[in-house]
Amino acid sequence: MSINRELSACFERIASLLEVLDANGFKINANRKVARILKELPEDLGQYKDDRKGLLAMDGIGAGSADRILEFLQTGTIEELDRLSGEIPEGLTALLDVPGLGPKTVRRLWQEVDVTSIEKLQTAIADGTLESMPRMGAKTIANIADSLAFMETAGDRLGIGIAMPVAEDLVARLQALSGTRQITYAGSLRRGRETIGDIDLLAVTDDVEQLSTAFTESPEVVKILARGETKCSVRLEQGIQIDLRMVEHDAFGAALMYFTGSKEHNVLLRERAIRHGLRLNEYGLFPEDGENGTPQSRGVAPTASDTEESIYEALELPYHPPELREERDGIEESPGKLVDVDSIRAELHSHTDASDGVLSIRSLALEAKARGLHTIAVTDHSRSSVQANGLSEKRLLAHIDAIHEVDSELKGIRVLAGSEVDILADGSLDYDDELLAKLDLVVASPHVALRQDPAKATRRLLQAIRHPLVHIIGHPTGRIINRREGLSPDMPKLVEAARECDTALEINANPLRLDLRDTHVRLAVDAGCLISIDTDAHRAEDFDLLRYGVLTARRGRLGPDQCVNAWTAKKLHAWLESKR
């Protein structure tokens, strides 16, 4: 685990311990905020070991947080965390991970029936101890038991590449019902986060019973968690929970904004509304007249509610797409034009059956042409990637000729001869410069030694970025989401070097990678660095993965001008030739 994530986990644990101890809510939220900031920070915190001023210069890091970060960097521990851990039983914090058990309930379990671990909770359910607790009914206990059973089989948060098709398939089936007027997914999935905790659906229906039945009786449902007139919840066989909320048509926009989040974005919007003498909630934007009760409960007409756009407009704000509604995103600055799927006109990282793909050069090129691309670069693996049938120098020379032959025969698309060349552990490339110069495009990627310390990883990648024949650094950290953390280089240094050398950094659109990650993209965009969005296609259907890379790009505020795949053929090829 990287230092950033270790520190983030420490601050998150401090917040959880404070909750169990019934501490001040402001202090709890402050620690959670720092945890989020550190988790998404693109640069390695290890470089701040003796730089308190540098830490204080970061948005959201105060003096107390900076001191605790320095303490961890210098000693490997945080005294406050150790002290808080000693104030509660050792197994108690594990109860906070049980779905449906909030900190107040965990505290009650501890104080009232001495349940201080998962094991004791299971025993308390089995022997009837929980039934003696006030407000702990049979249904609540059954739900806790079900959550414990689920925890034994549940894994990490679901990747967006699994969650999005599940949501889209369900939305399509429910949309086909005669009574469904509107339905879409919301939450972190709509914001394009790389992993999803659960899925939120929002619907307008003329037939609640029809929609509720179809939703709860879907064939993939393994557990119905709740079923009511406004909300139903189920658990699917993939191990994910889906909540369906049914709202009024006139309030759909307000509800979609509210349930899309993020929580921090919604707070900023509500504060803005208050300053304008308004009140914003999931039902709409209302005038604030000072009377008791909520405006909607008194029949007050909303100022805006049916669309998200109308609410932003009423608050005198630019519209923010869902991808730009995280804590790091302000609300007053216009997001500007962002890249979208239709912007992408070139695929610059793909594989054929010459290495580990399944399509021939011609089939790959025809697939790219059918999808409206003006350029496809064939970049099969280099010789060191033995597991991927990497090409020897002799095979690559023959492959270049074969690619150029297809390029000369096909009209309406350029087919470029490239290679995904391994960046070796010492920063050298897998082919010599004479051979690299014969290629139309070089994607240099790390595939081995992915546990290098940050300093070595930084030097290694800088060497590849500065190589005059390299166009793109492919999946720069080499991570696999939920499986492999990959390298933790000094991203600001890489970005600055890439900008100086006119080298593009890749967003690998495969949902297992999404590397660059969104925070790295934001860093690169702010620095004026070129970005490439590629599917790393190994088969025809892999071209469909483009949308995940685009979502990541949009979360990083990438516009089409900085995305080489969105350029015209003339501009793109001029850039490629500039490195030859």
How many other C-beta atoms are found inside a 10 Å radius of the C-beta of residue 274? 12
Q: In the numeric block, which tokens belong to residue 267?
A: 């707070």
Contact 265, 273 (CB under 8 A): no
Mean of the per-residue pLDDT values of the chain = 93
CA–CA separation, 357 vs 350, rounded Å? 8
Of 524 and 101, the one with more pLDDT: 524
Which of the four pLDDT bands, split at 50, 70 and 90, describes residue 297? low
Indicate the pLDDT class of residue 292, thresholds 50, 70 and 90.
low
pLDDT band at 6 (very low <50, low <70, confident <90, very high): confident
Q: Give me the mean pLDDT over the 102-116 stretch.
A: 89
Preceding amide of 350 cis, omega within 30 = no
SS3 97: helix
Pairing of strands 414-422, 441-445: parallel
Q: Determine whether 452 is exposed, middle or buried from the number of CB atoms within 10 Å of its CB (0-12, 13-18, 19+).
A: buried
CATH superfamily, region 3-153: DNA polymerase beta, N-terminal domain-like (1.10.150.110)
Q: Reduce the DSSP state of residue 288 to 3 states and report it.
A: coil
Phi, psi of 391 (to 5 degrees): -85, 130
Q: Which CATH superfamily is domain 269-324 in?
A: DNA polymerase, thumb domain (3.30.210.10)
Q: Give dist(CA 326, CA 431) in Å, integer.
A: 42
Which whole-number Å values give the CA distances from 162 to 239, 294, 400, 481, 510, in the listed order? Answer: 11, 39, 36, 12, 12
Query: Phi, psi (5° rounding) for residue 532?
Result: -115, 135
Q: In the chain, pLDDT over 90 holds for what percent of residues?
A: 75
Residue 426 burial (C-beta neighbours within 10 Å; 0-12, 13-18, 19+): exposed
- pLDDT for position 484: 83
End-to-end CA distance of the chain, in Å?
Answer: 39
Give the count of beta carbons closer than 10 Å to the beta carbon of residue 113. 16
What backbone phi and psi angles, to 5 degrees, belong to 164?
Answer: -65, -45
Lowest mean pLDDT among 96-105, 316-325, 479-488: 96-105
pLDDT value of position 44: 81
SS3 301: coil
The token pair that represents 483 in the structure block: 């499986």
Q: Does the pLDDT value for residue 522 go beyond 70? A: yes
Query: 153 pLDDT exceeds 60?
Result: no
Annotate 408-474 with DSSP letters as a single string: HH-SSSEEEEEEEEEB-TTS-BSS-HHHHTTSSEEEEE--S-TT--HHHHHHHHHHHHT-TT--EE-
Q: Which residue has the higher pLDDT, 89 or 251?
A: 251
Q: Which parts of 173-332 are beta strand (E)? A: 180-185, 195-196, 198-205, 221-227, 231-236, 241-246, 278-281, 284-287
Match 């967006």 to its residue by tokens.
Answer: 160
Question: Cα separation of 535 and 381, whole Å?
Answer: 15
What pLDDT shows up at residue 155?
A: 54
The token pair at 383 is 């010789």
Arithmetic mean of pLDDT, 496-503: 98
Distance (Å, rounded) from C-alpha 167 to C-alpha 151? Answer: 22
CATH 3.20.20.140 at 341-577, yes or no: yes
Local structure of 192: helix, strand or coil: coil
pLDDT tens digits for range 554-570: 999 999 999 999 999 99
414-422 sheet: strands from edge to edge: 346-347, 375-381, 414-422, 441-445, 472-473, 504-508, 531-534
Using alpha carbons, select from 200, 117, 198, 105 the residue that is nearest to residue 154: 198
| Whole-prediction pTM | 0.81
Q: Which of 10-14, 127-131, 160-164 has the highest mean pLDDT?
A: 160-164
pLDDT in tens, 358-387: 999 999 999 999 999 999 999 999 999 988
In tens, the pLDDT along 176-199 reads: 999 999 999 999 999 999 999 899
CATH topology of domain 158-246: Beta Polymerase; domain 2 (3.30.460)
What are the structure tokens assigned to 572, written together? 């793109």
Pick the range with the lowest mean pLDDT from 225-239, 348-362, 371-385: 225-239
- pLDDT for the residue 239: 78
CB atoms within 10 A of CB 66: 20
Give residue-wise pLDDT tens across range 417-465.
999 999 999 999 999 999 999 999 999 999 999 989 999 999 999 999 9
pLDDT of residue 419: 98
Q: What's residue 92's pLDDT?
A: 87
Question: What is the spatial distance between Cα 556 and Cα 561, in angstroms, rounded to a whole number?
Answer: 14
Q: CA dist 467 to 188, 348, 472, 508, 562, Å?
A: 39, 18, 10, 21, 21
Q: What is the pLDDT of residue 332?
A: 95
Q: Structural domain boundaries of the chain?
A: 3-153, 158-246, 269-324, 341-577
Q: For residue 3, name the pLDDT band (cuts at 50, 70, 90).
A: confident
**Strand order across the 198-205 sheet:** 180-185, 198-205, 241-246, 231-236, 221-227
CA distance 203 to 183: 4
When pLDDT is cut at 50, 70 and 90, the band that residue 1 belongs to is low
Residue 279, beta-bridge partner list: 286
Using CA atoms, how far residue 559 sits from 5, 327, 500, 556, in Å, is 29, 20, 19, 9
